[in-house]
Amino acid sequence: MKARIIQEPRCVLLWRFDEKSAGYDALAHAARAYKLKLRCIADGDLAARVGDLCRGLPSPAFAPLIKVSDRPAMIVSGLRHDTGELGHFLDLVKAGGADFPLRGMVTPTSRDWTLLQLLQELNTEHDTVTGGKA
């Protein structure tokens, strides 16, 4: 029996980062090079599962009324880190001037989290690493 390999959607979720943000054009160029779909996400998406957002599914009709940090976040799905693909993509984005204090990769665990859960986790990690300094 062959093992079933699940291919994650090739997508980049963007929180508080859009076409008006510095470095967006370079990010869009890098995304095209790696065949990644860009999806800007907002407060209305907080109740959606991360995996569903990456697949392009609509968000639930409700969203939690909770304040989430405005730190820009980039959440990448479908790139492999073991081949250097993810690292090269991130290098292209950084070289293009896009600044993301929060970066994450969709994992088998995080794809089932809500966007709210993932953003809270990324913010907690950021605060821990920086000592709470913005």
Cβ atoms of 46 and 116 within 8 Å: the answer is: yes
Q: Kindly tell me if the per-residue pLDDT of 5 is higher than 50.
A: no
Locate 76 and state its tokens: 């990448």
Cβ atoms of 98 and 73 within 8 Å: the answer is: no
Average pLDDT over residues 87-102: 94
pTM of the full structure: 0.90
92: left (phi over 0), alpha (psi -120 to 50) or beta: alpha
Q: Kindly tell me if the per-residue pLDDT of 117 is higher than 60.
A: yes
pLDDT interval class at 105 (50, 70, 90): very high
The residue extents of the domains of the chain are 11-64+71-118
